[in-house]
Amino acid sequence: MNKHRASVLMRHEVGLHARPSVKLTKLAKAFQSKIDLGLSPDGPWVDAKSIVKVMATKAPKDSTIYFRAEGSDAKAALDALVMLVDGDFQDGP
Amino acid sequence: MDRKMHRTACRIEGRSAAPGVALGPLLRLVSTTSQAPVSRSPAVERQAFEDALEASRLDLVALAGEMKDENAEAILSFQIALLEDENLAAPAFALIADGETADRAWVAAIDPEIATYDGSQDHYFHARASDLRDLRDRVLRRLAGEVDQSLPAGVIVAADDMPPSLFLATDWRDGGLVLRRGSPSSHVAILARSRGVPMIVGADVTEIESGADAVLDADAGALVVNPGAELRVEYTRRHAEQLEARRAASSYSGPTQTASGERVKVMINVTGLAELRDIDPSSVDGIGLMRTEFLFHGRERLPTEDEQYQIYRQMAEWACGKPVTIRTLDAGGDKPIAGLTQTGELNPFLGVRGVRLSLRRLEVFRVQLRALARAATVGNLKVMIPMVTVPEELVHCRALLQEAVDELRASGREAALPALGMMVEVPAAALTIEDFDADFFSIGSNDLIQYVAAASRDEPQLADLARPSRAVFNLIGHVVEHADRSGREASLCGDLAGDPEQAAALLDQGLRTFSVAAGALAPVRAAIARYSGKGA
């Protein structure tokens, strides 16, 4: 089974708001794996590819974002997502 | 050229809705969807919904491409991402499958999302509610067949009907409008009169093709397609005369008096700042009616407190101390606003419109009242409540207005309590006018007439009933008499005031304040100046 988990501290000043959520869901959609996002290691989990669900978490600044992914590119997906959040949602290269 | 001259002229009869003459090529607008709320199968509703979602998405992608501003672009990207997320529309598709109409299903799906943002303590998330509302309204407009488009200038537009937002977005210089539906008292007709756009209604436009030459004689209520050379010459001359007459009418010769020397106030009805550009405030007695619903039309989102404040403030500044009467949002009836007015009402004219809607959408109403209370510090601003039926509605509005003033002052903002008056357009209010705690009264004759006669102003067959009758004049007399006795002002701001042939009958009822479209100023003043007393 290709299951992976990761977590990252989000420092973005206004939390997981519209622009970060747009970037995060766009990036998640680039992968085939099923990817979930939560605000605690035990969930509840939401689909990280759905902006409606991601925004609904209303994650504030300094919350830890947890990811779990399942699929062929799960590892790569989580690496990319963690890098995005850790890099404060700056545009990647 | 030769080919056109050999075509036979074809005359299409209609009814005059706004006077004037126009010459130019025809442009036939074909509405994309049926306007009638016919019941459609779930499959058809589903397809309409999918089309509206996709069209809205493409609108947003196009808009995002035009944006230079990073913040605006971010909001649009957010909205696009929302539309691309199946989770948003999924509940709507489920409702449609169960037989709900697409527009209701969409509102039912997105409103709970909006509510979660509205309820957020975090002001950033709270503010996203407006992005969702904007998105909701965009899709609703698409479902209603409205298109973000503007029409070329200098053409005669022929269509079944036209939303006010499209009318307002169009440059009508030298153009004209021919509609199959609507009536001389519809709101597009009111706009056409105030902007001097020749317009007829009730014309059979089905055979009209774009590109043909035509003359529109909105005085006679007819359109002539492929006019002969003689007609063209005649109408070119009349068109020139019309321009000349307009220039002459804008010259002003002092305050209006009757022949017997009695002073009569003549104010203007406006829909926005643009109309005030060409009017010298010293030539009128103020603004008797500012229709704020046009601020809410054709927009991406509801106007904010600041946007409204800026407009009201500029009007008050323009007026240089003269009264500026601003009517709070009169949506509903024939003035739907996507996402705000109720959809699917069986009889919208007897439904949730005017103050009835404002008191049910307090979050929208409060924003307007705050903007008005702020602008009231600048000039002689008066607030007028539409569609008041019972005294309690006005009491409620007064309390809300006071609250707005108190809140603004508590937060260190400047605010003033403006005079609060009411439109008198519901017969129940006119009959019991002495029960209402209003600082002033303004009679809305268009609605009053249709409610008194129980005859729709949009039904051409009932045009004879939907006219000012003795019953209407009795009510007007009753209201004016009460206002005089109690030392308050009564004015009349409906189309009746702008009809020079009715001026004497209104003066007979004691009316001494008229509020008319700018285009009607000169003829109404002339009619008042001829008046030499009751029965004379």
- Strand spans (E) along B226-346: 265-270, 287-291, 324-327
Instruction: Answer yes or no: do A50 and B87 touch at CB < 8 A.
Output: yes
Instruction: Answer yes or no: do A19 and B122 touch at CB < 8 A.
Output: no
At residue B1, does pLDDT exceed 70? no
Q: Which residues of B touch A18 (CB under 8 A)?
A: 74-75, 77-78, 128, 131
H helices of A1-93, in order, are 18-29, 51-56, 74-86
The answer to whether B266 and B516 are in contact (CB under 8 A) is yes
Output the average pLDDT for chain B: 86
pLDDT at A68: 92
At residue B195, does pLDDT exceed 80? no
CATH (domain of A69): 3.30.1340.10
Smallest CA–CA distance, residue A23 to chain B, in Å, is 9
* Lowest-pLDDT range of B11-25, B236-250, B416-430: B236-250
Which whole number is the average pLDDT over B429-448?
Answer: 97
Q: Is A12 a catalytic residue?
A: no
Cis preceding linkage at A44, omega within 30: yes
- Catalytic residue (choose from A12, A17, A34, A75): A17
- Considering A39-43, B152-156, B388-392, the range whose residues carry the highest mean pLDDT is B388-392
Q: How far is CA B506 from CA B163, B476, B481, B498, B513, in A?
A: 32, 8, 12, 11, 10
The answer to whether B57 and B104 are in contact (CB under 8 A) is no
Phi, psi of B341 (to 5 degrees): -75, 160
pLDDT at B69: 53
pLDDT at B148: 55
CATH superfamily of B254-530: Phosphoenolpyruvate-binding domains (3.20.20.60)
Residues spanned by CATH 3.50.30.10 within chain B? 2-32+149-247
At residue B399, does pLDDT exceed 90? yes
Rounded-to-integer distance, Cα B493 and Cα B524, Å:
13
At residue B120, does pLDDT exceed 80? no
Inter-helix orientation angle B86-97/B42-66, to 10°: 160
At residue B3, does pLDDT exceed 50? no
Q: Is B187 a catalytic residue?
A: yes
- The total of other beta-carbon atoms located within 10 Å of residue B59's CB is 20
Does an H or E element contain B205, and which?
none
Confidence of residue B421 (pLDDT cuts 50, 70, 90): very high
Mutate to test the interface with B, among A55, A61, A62 (most CBs of B within 10 A): A55
| Per-residue pLDDT tens over the stretch B277-327 | 778 888 899 999 999 987 887 566 788 999 899 899 999 999 989 999 999
pLDDT at A63: 85
Which whole number is the average pLDDT over B86-111?
Answer: 90
pLDDT at B2: 41
Residue A93 lies inside a defined structural domain of this protein: no
Q: B432: Cβ–Cβ under 8 A, 6 or more apart, which residues?
A: none
pLDDT at B36: 45
Instruction: Answer yes or no: do A21 and B81 touch at CB < 8 A.
Output: yes
Which whole number is the average pLDDT over B475-504?
Answer: 95
pLDDT at A9: 86
Rounded-to-integer distance, Cα A50 and Cα B77, Å:
14
Closest CB from B81, B122, B125 relative to A51: B81
Answer with the residue of higher pLDDT: B66 or B242: B242
Q: Which two tokens stand for residue B35?
A: 């306007």
Smallest CA–CA distance, residue B141 to chain A, in Å, is 22
Query: Please, what is the Cα angle at B56 between B55 and B58, to 5 degrees?
Result: 65
Percent of chain B with pLDDT over 90: 46
The B-side interface with A (CB below 8 A) comprises 74-75, 77-78, 81-82, 84-88, 113, 116, 120, 122, 124-125, 128, 131
Phi-psi map region of B314: left, alpha, beta (phi>0 left; psi -120 to 50 alpha): alpha
Q: Which residues of B touch A17 (CB under 8 A)?
A: 124-125, 128
Inter-helix orientation angle B229-249/B521-530, to 10°: 70
Residue A10 lies inside a defined structural domain of this protein: yes
pLDDT at A20: 85
- Catalytic residue (choose from B10, B187, B297, B478): B187
At residue B134, does pLDDT exceed 50? yes
- ipTM, 2 dp: 0.84
pLDDT at B12: 93
Which whole number is the average pLDDT over B478-499?
Answer: 95
CATH superfamily of B42-143: PtsI, HPr-binding domain (1.10.274.10)
Answer with the residue of higher pLDDT: B149 or A5: A5
pLDDT at B150: 58
Counting the structural domains of chain A, the total is: 1
Output the average pLDDT for chain A: 85
- Considering A61-75, B14-28, B178-192, B349-363, the range whose residues carry the highest mean pLDDT is B349-363
Closest CB from B84, B113, B120 relative to A58: B120
| Residue span of the structural domain in which A43 resides | 3-74
Smallest CA–CA distance, residue B338 to chain A, in Å, is 22
Residue A31 lies inside a defined structural domain of this protein: yes
Q: Which residue of B has its CA nearest to A18?
A: B78
The letter for the amino acid at B119 is G
Q: Which CATH number does B2-32+149-247 carry?
A: 3.50.30.10
State the DSSP string of B380-409: -EEEEETT--SHHHHHHHHHHHHHHHHHHH
Residue A68 lies inside a defined structural domain of this protein: yes
Residue A64 lies inside a defined structural domain of this protein: yes
Mutate to test the interface with B, among A10, A16, A17 (most CBs of B within 10 A): A17
Confidence of residue B354 (pLDDT cuts 50, 70, 90): very high
What is the rounded (10 degree) CA torsion for B375, B378, B379, B384? 10
Tell me the count of A-B CB pairs closer than 8 A. 47
pLDDT at B381: 97
Rounded-to-integer distance, Cα B98 and Cα B412, Å:
52
- The total of other beta-carbon atoms located within 10 Å of residue A54's CB is 25
| Per-residue pLDDT tens over the stretch A19-49 | 888 889 989 988 989 999 998 888 889 999 9
Q: How far is CA B200 from the centre of its chain?
A: 18
Rounded-to-integer distance, Cα A63 and Cα B282, Å:
62
pLDDT at A1: 58
